[in-house]
Amino acid sequence: MSTEPITIECELLYRKKQSVVKAQLLIYSFTFIALCFLVPTYSKGKLIYVGLLKENGLQDYIGSAQVLQMGILLLAAPSFYIILARSLKIKGTITFSENYIIIEWWRKFKFRFEVQHLKDFHVQFNYFKRNDVEPRTMVLGNNNILLFKRYKKSFKYEFLLQTIEEDEKMRALFEIWESKNTTFQYHTVLADF
């Protein structure tokens, strides 16, 4: 009885560095704060702060600065959402099989790694995401992660399983790798369901 070799092709995810995302959020926030220093501030009808525009004789621009300040405030929630949503993108594919892993990055780079030659081989396996057509979570550790060393270099890839069939194939691959004495570990974060 011959069985078909198991292969799974998943989306390869690309996550921006947290420092880049934080910098974008901080720049947006500091822009709003900087605009607060340009316009006068009143409390209960009394002037508390004159504002840099009035101090420097640029009173004609106070109205425009206030409109810009309100616009930035109103667009804060959608802007933060866009910054966070763009921090995680599908950038290629990752193919798992019994003997190798192929990484195709931006349809330009293709790497093939023989499973038996990988060192410090770890898989963080969080199962599939029901009804997902794109990555919906920006939280690190909520997707599946592959870590290993090869040629004295560390590799880390994040991937997305989207169906029960992919989930079952991944579990079957783990069993095959264990039966072949491949040195690897897998960890789960979510409860099994």
My answer on whether 95 and 180 are in the same domain is: yes
Residue-wise pLDDT for 109-146, tens only, equals 888 888 888 888 888 777 655 545 444 555 444 568 88
Report the predicted TM-score, pTM, of the whole model to 2 decimal places. Answer: 0.64
CATH code, domain with 153:
2.30.29.30
Residue-wise pLDDT for 23-54, tens only, equals 998 998 888 888 877 777 777 777 767 677 77
Domain end point (choices 27, 60, 85): 85
Range of the structural domain that residue 41 is part of = 18-85
What's the number of domains the chain is made of? 2
DSSP state letter for 87: T
My answer on whether 150 and 129 are in the same domain is: yes
Q: How confident is the model at residue 159 (pLDDT cuts 50, 70, 90)?
A: confident
